[in-house]
Amino acid sequence: MAACRRVQRVLLLIFISGWICCAHGAKSLNAENENVDNVERGKNQAEVGKAAAADGASVVRRGSGWKLAEDAACREDVSRICPKHSWNNNLAVLECLQDRKDDNEITSACNHLLWNYKLNLTTDPKFENVASEVCKSTITGIKECAAEERGKGYLVSCLVDHRSNISEYQCNQYITKMTSIIFSNFRLICGFMDNCKEDINTLHCGSVNTIEKDLHSQGEVISCLEKGLISEAEGQPGHYIIKEECKKAIMRVAELSSDDFHLDRHLYFACREDRERYCENTPAGEGKVYKCLFNHKFEEGMSDKCKDALSTRQKLIAQDYKVSYSLAKACKPDLRKYRCNMDSAMPRAREAKLSYLLLCLESAVHRGQTVTGECQGEMLDYRRMLMEDYSLSPEIVLHCRSEIESQCSGLHHKGRTLHCLMRVSREKGIMENHCQKALQTLIQETDPGADYRIDRALNEACESVIQTACKHIRNGDPMILSCLMEHLYTDKMVEGCEQRLLELQYFISRDWRLDPILYKKCQNDAARICHTHGWNETSEFMPPGAVFSCLYRHAYRTEMQGRRGSSESSDVNTKVSLKLSRDCKTEVQRILHQRALDMKLDPELQQRCMTDLGKWCSEKTESGQELECLQDHLDDLVSTCRDVVGNLTELESEDIQIEALLIRACEPVIQSYCHEVADNQIDTGDLMECLVANKHQREMNEKCAVGVTHFQLIQMKDFRFSYKFKMACKEDVLKLCPNIKKKVDVVVCLSTTVRNDTLQDAKEQRVSLKCRKQLRVEELEMSEDIRLEPELYESCRQDIKQHCQNVVFGNAQVIECLKENKKLLNPHCHQKVFRLQEQEMMDPELDFQLMRVCKQMIRRFCTETDSKNMLQCLKQNKNSELMDPKCKQMITKRQITQNTDYRLNPVLRKACKADIPKFCQGILSKAKDDNELEGQVVSCLKLKYADQRLSPDCEDQIRVILQESALDYRLDPQLQLQCTEEIPRLCAEEVAAQEQTGQVEECLKVNLLKISHEGCKKEVLNILKESKADIFVDPVLHTACALDIKHQCAAILPGRGRQMSCLMEALQDKRVRLQPECKKRLQDRIDMWSYAAKVAPADGFSDLAGQVLTSPAKTYILSMLSMSVLLLFFMGLLCGRITKRVTQELKDRNLGQPWFEPLDTNRKGYDLIY
């Protein structure tokens, strides 16, 4: 260091002694003051001579007791401005006159005298002796100062350099007070003029003419240079590049003035009144006044000129941390310990920046190393300072100028501008934007994720939320931010806090290190798996959010599971060794659950899907809507976006708690039905499966139901979106259904394979047991909503709008509506619905409405029944007194459906497998696939039942159908079809009956003569014909004759008309007395049968034979037929004998004549035959 710089500091020591005597009145300093006065007295002749030489004034001879207060040039000013008790101490008078208020001007002569007085003091080498005496013990303790050569002023310079290490009170006061002399005029700092003269002139910061010695102008010159330095750093338009030597001199001046705000003359004069207002009780020294003023910078009462001066000071601190005395002192051991200023590859200017210090020490903290509490406290203050005022970061001022001017002007207050820039950056979402990069760098430097209080705007906006929702967490704990995220979009969250929180989280989400808890738990895993760098190291090749994406992919990856292609999938294998530790995985899941609330918090998703978001989801602005929109348009997305959306959807299927909004909406259902699986630390799809299973419980609200259904719909797009299904059936899909992606197609493929193996009685099922079980779950879930059957839904979309527009999706209600309007559907939809019904009849458990409505009845009657026979069991118990009416009605609906087509009745189809093609082939040949036969085959089998020509198994099934349809006309499709007009016209009262007991059929029989429609009449005649075969087919007659059957025909087996014949014989037997009602009904039946025989003669011999066999008078008819056959036989015998003689005579007559045969048609004559 130059000798002149050291000599100037020697002066300061002398002035300090005088000040101490005046200010504290301490007797202990009298000796030192006398030494100073002796030096002054020995120098007064030289001082006066130099003063006279400087301004041409007459030489004033001053005695050994000369005082500034007594000099004619300053006597009046001193008496007017300074307190009387300070007049006897030159240093006290000097300080008083220097620190005067703006309205107390001093004469130019006094100003001139003061200037020369200070200048002459700086040239006296005897001050070194004074310093040696005052700082004797300090010099001994500082090796560098003890080794300095004496007599050249180097000792005092060394003491100034090490003043932060001076613990001796008197010595420290000398060194501190001495600086006030130098900082009152920049020209007193050796080397400053030489280094900055050209820059001062260029920037027009003031004159260097020694004639102009105004005290204020000297501080203004340094302030002007400081502003020029800042302007250059911020890249302001038209800025001037200051020379490096001058830059160093400016920063050195700022550093030397860091402990006492009196030394920064510009700031001192700008903030004197503000200091008195806000920091009156704050003692000077150690930078305490600076910090106090910084804390009140944005107070409404703070003057603008003080704000500007404070901002300038803060910007200098940002350029060099040593400009902050308290920070440099508190963190000096830690900086040395962690080698934060020992990087030889880093330019000194970079090392000195506040940002570098913060990053280096924050890195040590994040690594778990110890940084002193005092240093951490200072770091916290300056991190908060950077977050409050964006202008302290030159990169933001440089790169965000246009955004500030256009969208964030006028918000320079408590961090609001910075949050405005965050909001703009979040809305734009441009990762390469220089402004966003500058903001990201600032967030890393300030690290608000470690302590939310650093972000003053966030702190103020979220204070009420923290006090209510997060009061259990210690103030300043990093978990406060996590708590706020967990309450995002809840009733406890307020709008302002929500906005500030999302703005900050947008940047935290782009650098995994900014979440201190995540970094602490996962730094080893990230280094091992994702090849990350240190906390304060960056890589241009690592895109935003890449490390966290890597972590969450491994958090959910197992040895047996892989993910689809991603930016890192090719570089990272799936070995078990690459699985995350438990603590890290827990943190990754926590953050995933929180960030899933807003897709902008997923950098990879936002970057890859920006185009698709604009194309498909521009109107989706609510929370969670953007991701749902992308999932809805999954097949339309570009491949890169589709992959990342697919990966995230797979994760959701494994851990649905990622969908935080859905979980909140479903909280009542979860608490009531799914709390056990929800409490599991690791979710493997169980929670979503539980929600689906309980989707129609009364606790289920609309939001939850919509969310669950939407996720089910998304799962249809890819079977891998159903975690449990994927894990159970992955191998089976690869083996049996390769190249099939959509879940519904995979389910159809696998279920078809299972069905074929079952029907063919395969020795071993090709689909594994665990897959079959999960396949069953998927089939049952798909039956609940038509939208989960994409092909069916698309085929019937128009019909749904036309016929079911007021029907709500879910609970299979739309499917039920389509079934009820099946005749009105378009052919394609009709076929799909028919196929669906066929599947449901084969497996009633897939019939969601049936299983839902009859749930309790199944538990009561069919607990041990196989699922395939569930409907059969319900039908058998349909007429039980314990049967629920709603379930009974649903069973009837399914019976009506079954009777429309034999293919919808698996039991009948199997029992009549041989009979149907044998007797009803004509109907089958005319039938079309996937279209109902409207009961034609069943009607055909009914007629054959009356003819007693069916196989036993088929006969049993037809008997059941006949008995059921006899009670309820709706179970006879052909009767309904043919008698559509006749039934309402003739039997309106019977139709309106609450329960059908065969009254409608009886009405039609009674009104047979009134029926005009031939088809209807034929169906009624068929009913009469069928009733001959079995009395159970005629419920009215059976009810009327129940007692007579019991008494007269108890030994007669039912079926094949046996009991009916028994009753007819009893009717003809005069010895038997039947019940009047039975007798009447039997007579009516005979009349009906007689009329039927006339109206509808037999169609053929087989029909005739059938009528005879089923006729009650078949014995009489058969007897008469037998007698007729015998009579014909005897007549034949008699006629045969007569004709035999005639034939013999003719033969004898022609015995001698040859027989001739006509020739071929092409020849004439006859050929002779011998």
Q: Does residue 310 register a pLDDT over 50?
A: yes
Confidence check: pLDDT of 1096 > 70: no
Alpha helix positions (H), 142-214: 143-146, 154-161, 169-182, 192-203
Residues 403 and 421 sit within 8 Å (Cβ to Cβ): yes
**In terms of C-beta density within 10 A (0-12 exposed, 13-18 middle, 19 or more buried), how is residue 214 classed?**
middle
State the Cα–Cα distance between residues 1029 and 947, nearest whole angstrom.
Answer: 8
Output the DSSP codes for 707-771.
HHHHHHHHHTT-GGGSHHHHHHHHHHHHHHSTT--SHHHHHHHHHHHHHHHHHTT-SS-SS-HHH
Q: 22 pLDDT band (50/70/90 cuts)? A: very low
Poorest-pLDDT segment among 317-331, 595-609, 1124-1138:
1124-1138
Q: Give the model's confidence band at 655: pLDDT under 50 very low, under 70 low, under 90 confident, else very high.
A: confident
- Position 534, amino acid: G
Mean pLDDT of 928-954: 83
974 has a pLDDT exceeding 60: yes
Q: How sure is the predictor about 1029, in pLDDT bands with cuts at 50, 70 and 90?
A: confident
> Which amino acid, 537?
E
The count of other CB atoms within 10 Å of the CB of residue 1046 is: 9
How far apart CA 192 and CA 57 sit, in angstroms, is 28
Look at residue 1166 and tell me whether its pLDDT is greater than 50: no
pLDDT at site 1165? 41
Neighbours of 149 (CB within 10 A): 8
Q: State residue 352's pLDDT score.
A: 76
Q: Which of 116-130, 348-362, 518-532, 863-877 has the lowest mean pLDDT?
A: 116-130
Which of the two residues, 633 and 682, has the higher pLDDT score? 633
Count Cα neighbours of 1151 within 13 Å in the Cβ-side half-sphere.
6
What's the whole-number mean pLDDT along residues 1124-1138? 74
Is the distance from CB of 319 to CB of 253 less than 8 angstroms?
no
Q: Given CA atoms 1042, 1043, 1048, 1053 in this order, what sign does their dihedral have? A: positive
Count CA atoms closer than 13 A to 698's CA, side-chain side: 0
Q: Which residue has the tokens 């003091």?
A: 121
Instruction: Please give the structure tokens belonging to residue 575.
Output: 């070995």
- The pLDDT assigned to 1161 comes to 42
Backbone φ and ψ for 542, nearest 5 degrees, come out as -100, 105
| Residue 347 banded pLDDT, cuts 50, 70, 90 | very low
| The pLDDT value given to residue 118 | 67
Is it the case that residue 142 has pLDDT exceeding 90?
no
Residue 186 has pLDDT above 70, yes or no: no
Tens digits of residue pLDDT in 877-916: 998 999 999 999 999 999 999 998 888 999 999 999 999 9
Please choose, from the candidates 166, 170, 184, the residue with its C-alpha nearest in 3D space to the C-alpha of residue 264. Answer: 184
Q: What pLDDT was estimated at residue 10?
A: 36
Res 1068: pLDDT: 87
Tell the burial category of 831 from Cβ atoms under 10 Å away from its Cβ (0-12, 13-18, 19+): middle
Q: Which pLDDT score, from 0 to 100, does residue 774 have?
A: 93
Contacts of residue 1024, defined as CB under 8 A and 6 or more positions apart, other chains included, come to 1005, 1085, 1088, 1089, 1092
Lowest mean pLDDT segment, chosen from 129-133, 532-536, 860-864, 1136-1140:
1136-1140
State the pLDDT at residue 4: 42
Q: Is the predicted pLDDT of residue 93 greater than 70, yes or no?
A: yes
Tokens of 379: 């770091």
**Does the structure show a pLDDT above 50 at 135?**
yes
> What is the predicted pLDDT for the residue at 211?
36
CA torsion sign for 372, 373, 374, 378 is positive
Three-point CA angle 625, 627, 632, nearest 5° = 90
Q: Give 419's pLDDT tier (boundaries 50, 70, 90).
A: very high
d(CA 1170, CA 621): 112
CA distances from 62 to 27, 68, 708, 741 (A): 27, 11, 98, 105
The residue-averaged pLDDT of 417-439 equals: 83
Rounded (10°) CA dihedral 696, 697, 700, 706: -10
Based on its alpha-carbon atoms, the radius of gyration of the chain, rounded to whole angstroms, reads 53
Q: What pLDDT, on a 0 to 100 scale, did the predictor assign at position 172?
A: 80
What pLDDT score does 538 carry?
Answer: 56
Which residues have a Cβ under 8 Å from the Cβ of 952 and sit 6 or more positions away?
none
Counting Cα atoms < 13 Å in the Cβ hemisphere of 734 gives 6
* pLDDT confidence of residue 562: 45
pLDDT at 121 over 70: no
pLDDT at 810 over 90: no
Residue 52: the pLDDT is: 29
Amino acid, single-letter form, for residue 695? K
Q: Which of 675, 623, 680 is nearest to 654 (CA)?
A: 680
Give the pLDDT confidence score for residue 1105 in this predicted structure.
63
Q: Which of 27-41, 358-372, 588-602 has the lowest mean pLDDT?
A: 27-41
DSSP 862-920: -TTS-GGGHHHHHHHTTT-TTS-HHHHHHHHHHHHHHHH-GGG-HHHHHHTTTHHHHH-
- Percentage of the chain surpassing pLDDT 90? 30
10 Å CB burial of residue 317 (0-12, 13-18, 19+) is: buried
Could you tell me where the DSSP H helices lie in 204-299? 215-234, 244-256, 265-278, 288-295
For residue 994, what pLDDT is reported? Answer: 72
Q: Is the pLDDT of residue 412 over 90?
A: no
**pLDDT of the residue at 212:** 40
Q: How many residues does the chain have?
A: 1170
Q: Is the pTM of this model over 0.75?
A: no
Q: Using the predicted structure, report yes or no on whether residue 465 has a pLDDT greater than 90.
A: yes
pLDDT band at 28 (very low <50, low <70, confident <90, very high): very low
Question: Could you give the C-alpha distances from 1056 to 558, 949, 1143, in angstroms and in order?
Answer: 67, 10, 51
Quick check: helix, strand or coil at residue 452? helix
1156: pLDDT strictly greater than 80: no
Q: Tell me what pLDDT residue 620 has.
A: 80
Mean local confidence (pLDDT), 1036-1065 = 86
Write down the pLDDT at residue 886.
Answer: 93
Q: Report the alpha-carbon distance of residue 707 to residue 713 in Å, rounded.
A: 10
**pLDDT value of residue 1107:** 58
Instruction: Identify the CA nearest to 99 among candidates 297, 273, 340.
Output: 273
**Residue 1114 binned pLDDT confidence (cut-offs 50, 70, 90):** low
Residue 1120 has pLDDT above 80, yes or no: no
Query: Quick one: average pLDDT of 386-392?
Result: 90
- Looking at residues 173-179, what average pLDDT do you find? 69
List of residues 6+ apart from 946 with CB closer than 8 A: 1025, 1026, 1028, 1029, 1106, 1110
> Stretch 108-113: mean pLDDT, rounded?
78
Of 316, 315, 390, 321, the residue nearest 357 (C-alpha): 321
**Phi and psi at residue 104, to the nearest 5°:** -105, 85
Phi, psi of 1167 (to 5 degrees): -95, 140
At residue 1092, does pLDDT exceed 90? Answer: no
pLDDT band at 613 (very low <50, low <70, confident <90, very high): confident
What pLDDT does residue 340 have?
Answer: 84
Percentage of the chain beyond pLDDT 70 is 80
- The reported pLDDT for the residue numbered 448 is 94
Residue type, 23: A
> What are the b/e assignments for 320-330, b being 16+ CB within 10 Å?
bbbbbbbbbbb
At residue 189 the predicted structure's pLDDT band, cuts being 50, 70 and 90, is low
Largest distance between two CA atoms of the chain: 202
Predicted confidence (pLDDT) per residue in 45-72, tens digit: 333 333 323 333 333 334 457 788 888 8
Quote the CA–CA distance of 494 and 246 in Å, as a whole number.
Answer: 51
Q: Residue 453's closest CA among 477, 422, 430? A: 477
Mean pLDDT of 951-967: 89
Query: So what's the pLDDT on residue 753?
Result: 93
Query: Which pLDDT does position 563 carry in this prediction?
Result: 46
For 533-579, the pLDDT digits (tens) are: 665 565 555 677 888 888 888 887 653 344 444 444 444 344 445 78
Mean pLDDT of the chain: 80
Residue bearing tokens 């972000």: 455
List beta partners, residue 1166: 1158
